A and B are shown apart, each in its own frame.
Chain A
């Protein structure tokens, strides 16, 4: 019992010590409270943001962009991945172009995107979509292409054709790989969003951070950083949960 408590407590020891040292250092005056506010100050600011509704307003703005961008970009990447995995013609027709576009860092498009879309939602959604599209495209393609051809032959012999072939053999076979792509693209999604929102925005967590910078509100900047960490963690947990459910049959999950 005590052992169990110690092993579950030990990982948190260093963070707790850091927070205590931090609070003391600021209180004593070793560090300027202007540059690095004390943890307690940050908590207070967080509470104020929460109560005023500002926090929810900006978080929901960021979340909406992230999800819409993920749906559009991920959807296109998935469809292209499936099409190119199944059809040699489609692959020959589009893959080279896609690979060329993929090699452009999506953030290099920021100046152009601002000219095109202004600082509207469109700009951010476009950047996120472009960013998440390729990891999903590549991994879906890889997943479909790497399905054991023996399964497909067997499926045909047993009367599984067309849509059922896709639903019962191709998609589940490619799913482990698609999940790898999804988790990778979630990382790209947050990164793109952070950059896009800090550059040009009137709403969102990044906008919150930029205004805070202008007013030297380090506490709020730190809150926004923590918010992104929180978003990232939640997204990763959700995709892991989805993966665990969808891949219950997989070797790595079967005995759990």
Chain B
């Protein structure tokens, strides 16, 4: 389990990762998607990246996951390159990407070696789906599938959890449940979390920090100091939400 250390009223997990991007640029076939991105993401921080479709936010996430390499610049995990870092990043996708030919429990245990069964069960318990462990993924609802995908990511005890719009395909109620679940698990385990979303309210609810990407540039980077759990009716909440929305819509 996560060992939490408390330093100057700030709780963090030793296992979590600090990410730095140094003048990162990424282009696909002469089309520049990200330009001169420099960014520090603190250990155990929950950062939300918002932006319109095609702004480059998912590309940024993929660079940090190590799935793509920057054309220029560096992405570092605790000052070492991603390939050499022992810290592991796990990604949750918009579609759950559960393997339909594996039972729920075997999906959670995917890629684990040795006696993974108790660990997988524990994570399924945490997302409230232990009773479905022997079901086929296709029999679960969209929200349940995403919870299984979350369990599959967390069972690896990741230093970094990357969330690529995992809630955008869910209905409003399920989305709220999922947000709370992610927030609670993050509070308990304090991995570094990076969420990409186009839902500003979701960003303000979950993020310690909100970053706006427009046309490949970071155009807004603000702290969100509201104490958790955050209520939508909080005046400060709507102030930050308005600030981000105004910037996007300007």
Residues of A within 8 A of B (CB): 148, 150-151, 153-155, 157-160, 164, 168-169, 172-173, 175, 247-251, 254-255
Q: Cα distance A154–B89 when bound, in Å? A: 12
Contacts A150-B93, A249-B136 given; does A158 touch B110 at CB 8 Å: yes
* Neighbouring A residues of B101 by C-beta, 8 Å: 172-173, 175, 247, 249-250
Cβ–Cβ contact A155 & B138, under 8 A:
no
Which residues in B have their C-beta under 8 angstroms from that of A249?
100-102, 136-138
Q: Given the complex, which residues of B lie within 8 Å of A148, measured CB to CB?
A: 97
Q: Is the CB of A155 within 8 A of B136?
A: no
Which of B97, B102, B137 touches A154 (beta carbons < 8 Å)?
B97
Contacts of A173 in B (CB 8 A): 101
CB contacts (< 8 Å) of A150 on chain B: these are: 93, 95, 97
Bound together, the chains give a CA A153 to CA B65 distance in angstroms of: 11
Q: Does B67 contact A (CB under 8 A)?
A: yes
Contact yes or no, A159 B111, CB < 8 A: yes
**Cβ contacts A to B, 30 pairs, < 8 Å:** A150-B93, A151-B97, A151-B99, A153-B67, A154-B91, A154-B93, A154-B97, A155-B111, A157-B65, A157-B67, A157-B89, A157-B90, A157-B91, A158-B90, A158-B110, A158-B111, A158-B152, A168-B99, A168-B110, A172-B99, A173-B101, A247-B101, A248-B136, A249-B100, A249-B102, A249-B137, A249-B138, A254-B138, A254-B139, A255-B139
Q: Which of B122-181 contact A (CB under 8 A)?
A: 136-139, 152, 156
Total residues of chain B contacting the partner, CB 8 A? 21
Nearest residue (CB) in A for B162 is A157
Distance A247 CA – B100 CA, assembled complex (angstroms): 10
CB pair A160 B111 closer than 8 Å: yes
A160→B137 CA distance, assembly (Å): 19
CA of A175 to CA of B101, assembled, Å: 10
What B residues does A159 contact at CB under 8 A?
111-112, 156
For chain B, residues 66 to 117, give those with C-beta under 8 angstroms from any C-beta of chain A. Answer: 67, 89-91, 93, 95, 97, 99-102, 110-112
List of A residues within 8 angstroms of B110 by Cβ: 155, 158, 160, 168
Measured CB to CB, the closest approach of chain A to B66, in angstroms, equals: 8
Interface of A is mostly: helix
The reply to whether B97 and A168 form a contact with Cβ atoms under 8 Å apart is no
Residue numbers in A under 8 Å from B152 (CB-CB): 158
Contact assessment for B111 and A254 in the assembled complex, using a CB-CB cutoff below 8 Å: no
Q: In whole angstroms, how far apart are the Cα atoms of A173 and B97 in the complex? A: 13
A251 to B101 alpha-carbon distance, docked (Å): 10
In angstroms, how far is the closest chain A Cβ from the Cβ of B154? 12
Tell me, in angstroms, the Cα distance from A248 to B100 when the chains sit together: 10
CA distance A214 to B70 in the complex (A): 78
| Nearest residue, chain A, Cβ from B88 | A159
Q: Is the CB of A251 within 8 A of B138?
A: yes
Give residues 41-83 of B contacting A (CB, 8 Å): 65, 67
Chain A's nearest CB lies how many Å from the CB of B103? 8
Residues of B156-208 whose CB lies within 8 A of A: 156
**Chain B contacts of A157 at CB under 8 A?**
65, 67, 89-91
A250 CB to closest chain B CB (Å) equals: 7
State how many angstroms separate the Cβ of A247 from the closest Cβ of chain B.
8
* A172 partner residues in chain B, CB cutoff 8 A: 99, 101-102
User: Assuming A169-B99, A254-B136, what are 10 further A-B pairs, CB within 8 angstroms?
Assistant: A150-B97, A154-B91, A158-B90, A158-B110, A160-B110, A164-B111, A168-B102, A248-B136, A251-B100, A254-B139
Measured in the bound complex, the distance between the Cα atoms of B101 and A168 in whole Å is 9
Q: List the B residue with the shortest CB-CB distance to A160.
A: B111
